[in-house]
Amino acid sequence: MNDLEKNVMQAGEPFDYNIVLIGFMGTGKSTVSACLSAMFGMETVEMDQVIAEREAMSIQDIFANYGEEYFRDLETELLSGLKSRKNTVISCGGGAVLRARNVAEMKKNGKVVLLTASPETVYSRVKDSDDRPVLRDRKNVTDISELMEQRRERYEAAADIVIDTDNKTVQAVCEELVQRLMEMR
Ligand code: S3P
């Protein structure tokens, strides 16, 4: 642990707000969230996991049975309920920023951190999993790159901080993230 991290730890409950991780699928939101939790004992909320548990259904099945809009409504409902928390890392689904209302909810008590990665990196991270309905039939670098471009403006507009994750360890990403948050104080 470096000096900065020690300072953060000495603050007891270090963040009196939530850290909201946004970004395209495969940019490392869940991994970074787990790392922040391990480093600082922060609570975490994995949005997709909570939604799947609440609905007792996988994300693919929610999309297949009820459609994307229904899933987006569940995201809005969940985010709205999280603003009363603090010192929690909220790992959002990659499409949560597509609704302005969701971004407004994130910002009520959170600093929004955008994680980015190149289409090639994203592809390498998602290629072996089938649990992302939005990438069904689009699991290739060209389509990922196109979808990323379509969403770029929304991601960037929502973000208080942007951190590129390409060629960095998860530890390095967490350290950069905490450093940047401390600088904002
Ligand atoms: C989605 C991203 C997924 C999940 C759902 C839709 C998206 O989350 O919420 O499949 O539209 O980008 P991850 O970013 O955690 O894969």
* 59 Cα–ligand 1 center, Å: 9
Residue 3 has pLDDT above 80, yes or no: no
Dist CA 168 CA 155 (whole Å): 20
Instruction: Name every protein residue with a CB atom under 6 angstroms from any ligand 1 atom.
Output: 25, 29, 48, 59, 93-95, 132-134
* 182 Cα–ligand 1 center, Å: 29
Tokens (6 digits) for 15: 């963040």
Residue 81 has pLDDT above 90, yes or no: yes
Q: What is the DSSP letter of 130?
A: -
What local confidence, expressed as pLDDT, does residue 13 receive?
64
Angle between helices 68-82 and 59-66 (to 10 degrees): 130
Average pLDDT over residues 92-120: 96
- Pair 139, 125: CB distance under 8 Å: no
Residue 70 has pLDDT above 80, yes or no: yes
**Farthest-apart Cα atoms in the chain, separation:** 50
CA atoms within 13 A on the CB side of 30: 11
Beta partners for 46? 91
pLDDT of 10-19, one tens digit each?
666 678 899 9
Residue 121 has pLDDT above 80, yes or no: yes
Average pLDDT over residues 23-36: 97
Average pLDDT over residues 48-76: 96
Q: Which of 52, 51, 34 is nearest to 43 (CA)?
A: 34
What local confidence, expressed as pLDDT, does residue 184 receive?
85
Dist CA 74 CA 67 (whole Å): 11
Q: What is the DSSP letter of 85?
A: -
Nearest CA to ligand 1 atom 11: 95
* Mean pLDDT for all residues in the chain: 93
What local confidence, expressed as pLDDT, does residue 9 receive?
67
Nearest CA to ligand 1 atom 4: 93
Domains delineated in the chain: 3-184 (3.40.50.300)
Q: H-type helices in the chain, by residue range?
A: 3-10, 29-40, 47-55, 59-66, 68-82, 100-108, 119-126, 141-158, 170-183
